[in-house]
Amino acid sequence: MDHQITRHRHELRRRRLTVAQATHITPDMIRLVFDGEDLADFVSLGFDDHVKIFVPGTGAEPERRDYTPRAFDAAARRLTLDFAVHDAGPATRWAIGARPGDTLDIGGLRGSMVVSPTFDWWLLAGDETALPAMGRCLEELPAKTRVITAGVVTGPAEEQVFRTAASHQALWVHRPLTRGDDPAPLLGALRGLTLPPGDGFVWIAAEAGVARAARDHFLAERGHPKGWLKAAGYWVKGVADANEKLQD
């Protein structure tokens, strides 16, 4: 089977959006729904796309952070972003205080990766920062596609329920946030998995060291094809606004 992974470039644009809804989907995950005419030509083709959000900082210039479009309704011109609120960064502070009617500027998105739905199975692994992309992927996968998710969160209250037509096996791993950069909890869960037969696509996103260790597990220990795996460090412990592209 010829599995296609294509990349698409988009015209960069800055857009101003308005908060339409603000809810907690778990105690530490805020969902904000935005609308606005600036979304008329917005395009998001990949489940792990990123937009740049601009929020007030301590200086004259705004702070910039990357967030995954959890959902986008082109007809309604509505964009959904989920915010994990464990840390005390500028984006988190803004999201905690956001109310309907507030405005937010976003940039991008720059590009999209689109994976063909031809794989026999998928594995999605990551921490709180990965859940928006994991949830969107599950919602977009075709019916009966086999998919395993390994989500690392602080406890049962942070586990999310995803709606999907796929054949979904959910695995949740609990660890305190203070161990967010410790690969052991996720690696222990991954090593205990029996993967389905056939061709699989593996997607990983977490703290950079955790994502790197999980990537190496699949490439070195399981011999998974490098071209059928994407891993990214969505954050780096101790470094603000940092990420690492580890494998794509």
In the chain the domains, ranked by start, together with CATH numbers, are 5-111 (2.40.30.10), 117-247 (3.40.50.80)
**pLDDT the model gives residue 124:** 98
Inform me whether the pLDDT recorded for 1 exceeds 70: no
The percent of residues above 90 in pLDDT, for the chain, comes to 85
Whose CA is closest to 159, among 148, 169, 167, 151?
Answer: 151
Q: The whole model's pTM is what?
A: 0.93
Residue the block writes with tokens 């203070």: 178
Is 126:206 a contact under the CB 8 Å cutoff? yes
pLDDT one-digit tens code per residue, 140-172: 999 989 999 999 999 999 999 999 999 999 999
**pLDDT the model gives residue 240:** 65
**pLDDT the model gives residue 243:** 65
- Of residues 86 and 154, the one with the higher pLDDT is 154
pLDDT one-digit tens code per residue, 156-214: 999 999 999 999 999 999 999 999 999 999 999 999 999 999 999 999 999 999 999 99
Tokens of 209: 């060291």
Determine the residue type at 243: N
